Structure 1
């Protein structure tokens, strides 16, 4: 797969089933169908998907979302299908989310990440996110703490 084969687009109803399946694969079903529908309808939500064309049609291989809250982009979810990880797609997805946040004149980005999710932590640190705190036992299934990450995203920063 080359970068020319992938496309970024805002999530629409037609790709909901594929996003739900990818959510199940990556997170065990973190969000419901209704949750994704609310994201599509909300003007404060930006949910971007990555697709690739295959012999059987267009396949969703990644997605990410942020909520615009006051001057902040709160990144709520970021996923790349396991078969496509390690190819820089997570970086491209995060870069596109942050570009949209800047376009919306947001000033900073925040997110929570599991303390043991080293791949994600490395990605966020590569983009300049810094640890700003910790939420004890945030993830109910595992009891794992969440690290709170923060980054300024002003255009001149």
Structure 2
């Protein structure tokens, strides 16, 4: 999908449902070298009362998703993925905004995540929304033993406060 062909009117962000899992798994396997299993997503949606997930739906097709766990007053981001054919259209940004807003609505004061040390695109997105590097988890990723940066943000971050003022 090119930016010129992308029609924002055809995009919606909504809660993930079990019926979305075929599309979610397609995005998952195209996005990660160590993808989650379908059963892991079922568990998140059905059994994990702390989990909250959203999808980006474009013209009736799920093209991205994001999720987090709400633990006390902290949101722990589990994953954000955008179909490779839809990258570069700011969908990751829209998904991050959606889960940050959801976390704040649930009383969240902070959010955290782990991100591969080599994933500079994601790190730049997180920094744009106020996330700061606070540590490293050595060998965090099981597919290649890559380290993960630990990032945290206080909510609401400056970027979102500025948007609220402009709205």
TM-score of the two chains, using structure 1 as the length reference:
0.92
The equivalent position to 1:49 in structure 2, one of 33, 45, 55, is 55
C-alpha distance in structure 2 between counterparts of 1:9 and 1:103, whole Å = 15
User: How many equivalent residue pairs?
Assistant: 153
- Contact 1:64–1:79, Cα closer than 8 Å, also in 2: yes
**1:134 and 1:148 in contact (8 A); partners too:** yes
1:107 maps onto 2:113 in alignment: no
Q: Distance in 1 between matches of 2:121 and 2:82?
A: 12
Paired with 2:116 and 2:34, the residues of 1 have a C-alpha distance of 16
**Pairing 1:4–2:6 present:** no
Cα contact 2:132–2:151 (8 A) shared by 1: yes
| Range with greater deviation from structure 2 (13-22 or 127-136) | 13-22
Q: Which runs of 5+ in 2 are unaligned?
A: 1-5, 162-167
2:97 aligns with 95
Unaligned runs of 5+ in 1: none
Task: Name 2:122's counterpart in structure 1.
Answer: 120
State whether residues 64 and 93 of structure 1, in contact with CA within 8 Å, keep that contact through their aligned partners in structure 2.
Answer: yes
Contact 1:102-1:155 within 8 A present in 2 as well: no
TM-score normalised according to structure 2 size: 0.87
CA RMSD of aligned residues (A): 1.5
- In structure 1, the residue matched to 2:76 is 74
Q: Which residue of 2 aligns with 1:18?
A: 23
Aligned partner of residue 139 in structure 2, secondary structure: strand
How far the C-alpha of 1:29 sits from its partner, in A, is: 4.9
Contact 1:20 1:29 in 2 (8 A): no
Runs (4 or more) in structure 1 with deviation over 2 Å come to 154-157
Shift in Å at residue 31 of structure 1?
1.2
Further displaced range: 1-10 or 143-152: 1-10
